[in-house]
Amino acid sequence: MLSPVLEAERAEVIRIARKMVDDGLVVGTSGNVSLRSGELVAVTPSGVDYDVLTVADVPVVRLDGAVVDGERAPSSELPMHLTAYADHGADAVVHTHSLHATALSLLRDDVPAVHYQLAEMGGVVRVAEYATFGTDRLAANMSAALAGRGACVLRNHGTVAIGSTPAAAYNRARQLEWLCRLWLTAQQAGRPRLLDDEELDRCAAQFGHVARR
């Protein structure tokens, strides 16, 4: 009996989707995860509880969006995922509806440099302009905000993080939520002191040095 197309990749998509729920980055069936393998992408389906997902439920699509395997329709946010692969060379994409990141998006156009962890994402993380979910306009807005970065925030919506693996993308999404929570907490007490661009550059170089070890 032949194994399902991208069986291991689909299983990893399910694992990360369930972590999003466990860590409170999504509620219900919100958010989505995808993983690219060559010209194919495994992506969470639309409207299915993550705790009951099976490998067969996870659709596999081509980079043009055409479904090649799977019993369910792909996530409504498939345009964002495919745009991240086409425009930014991503290998994996994680989209959350994180509470604190979404709250920050109502107040700011970026995530300020409250912590050196931003350097790992390429610098100050941008907030993409709002557009209706599932639309090409949202995908375009996300792509603009993601340029040169490992993550972005979607206004009135959530976050998108990319990485070399779903685990790497997920770690960025989780760190981004923490950074947004940190800023929201600090600004309640006053005006947070921020790191400057030179320090972020030094931290980025240090992150690169650690990654090469």
- Write down the mean pLDDT value for the chain: 94
- Percent over 70 (pLDDT), the chain: 96
SS3 of 191, please? coil
Tell me which H or E stretch contains 174: helix 166-187
CA atoms of 70 and 10, how far apart (whole Å): 10
141-188 pLDDT per residue, tens: 999 999 999 999 999 999 999 999 999 999 999 999 999 999 999 999
In order of 11, 111, 187, 196, the CA distances from 177 in angstroms are 25, 10, 16, 21
- For residue 104, pLDDT beyond 70: yes
What residues act catalytically? 77
Indicate if the pLDDT at residue 69 is higher than 50: yes
Comparing CA positions, the residue from 156, 152, 124 lying closest to residue 140 is 152
Tell me the mean pLDDT in the region 116-132. 96
3-class secondary-structure state, position 30? coil
What is the pLDDT confidence band of residue 207, given thresholds at 50, 70 and 90? confident
Residue-level pLDDT at 29: 82
**Residue 45 predicted with pLDDT over 90:** yes
Is the predicted pLDDT of residue 1 greater than 80, yes or no?
no
How far is 83 from 146, CA to CA, in rounded Å? 11
**Section 44-67 average pLDDT:** 94
Structure tokens at 172: 């960025």
pTM exceeding 0.85: yes
